[in-house]
Structure 1
């Protein structure tokens, strides 16, 4: 009985190590796969929302823009990897991509903290206008992508 427990424990640790190693070597997306908008809104719909809901939409759109705009000369959609673009998937390029991800994350943490503290003081109409502006910018990225594919 004791040998079965030891055997299963060793098997579990080896399986965990193998899965972990595969995850580290898996190609990473240049644009974060979390850089997606679930739904676009119109002014009437936004006007019916509470300020707290608007603030969350505002922050979500900022996150998507920050995770997308710096890369549009390379790619405009999440899920595209360096290998997909012909960029060597070597240690130097991985390190640069990792450093960029850390920098983006740090920037977003600071920005979201600022937004949560300061934006509740903004005018609801200005918040709605900003959300619509951000959404139009994101829609323009889709148009950019379509033009780029021609």
Structure 2
């Protein structure tokens, strides 16, 4: 019985250490979820149902909101303020956390609005917007070459 208690205690301690997060670790400037899985062509989009187009539109808005405000610092997920030589002090960590919270709140409101209003939009306008957003994201890949 004593051995089981010791084993369980060691297991729980090890699991806690393995799964705990380091609060002092620098946060990525651009969220790792800020990427488009697949780009589409005009014919492919025209063959989709409006519901599918709405989901693509919402996904692209989310990626752009998580990326565009930070392009002067980074254009791809994974770059941290430490990578850029910005001090990872308490003030800068709080600024990053506050910005992440603000972005999340903005996206929650925006996505809710889009899910309510976009079903009334014209399918061709949705397709044009998706292509525009995708071209914007593609141009970000070329941004570092400038």
The TM tier, using the shorter chain, reads over 0.9
What residue is the counterpart of 2:28 in the other structure?
29
Show CA shifts across 1:91-140 (max 9, x none): 11111101111110111111111111110110100000000111111111
Cα drift, residue 35 of structure 1: 0.2
- Name the structure with the higher helix share: 1
What residue is the counterpart of 1:11 in the other structure?
10
SS in 2 for 1:35: coil
Q: Give the root-mean-square deviation of aligned CA atoms.
A: 1.3
Show CA shifts across 1:28-68 (max 9, x none): 21100100011111111100000011011000100000000
Instruction: State the distance in 1 between where 2:67 and 2:88 align.
Output: 20
What residue is the counterpart of 1:83 in the other structure?
82
Instruction: State the distance in 2 between where 1:63 and 1:51 align.
Output: 18
Runs of at least 5 residues in structure 2 that lack an aligned partner in the other structure? none
Give runs of aligned pairs for residues 118-129 of structure 1, distance below 5 A. 118-129=117-128
Cα 1:92–1:21 shift into 2, 3 Å: farther
Instruction: State the distance in 2 between where 1:136 and 1:22 align.
Output: 36
Contact 2:75 2:140 in 1 (8 A): yes
Runs of at least 5 residues in structure 1 that lack an aligned partner in the other structure? none
**Which moves more between the two structures, 56-65 or 16-25?**
16-25
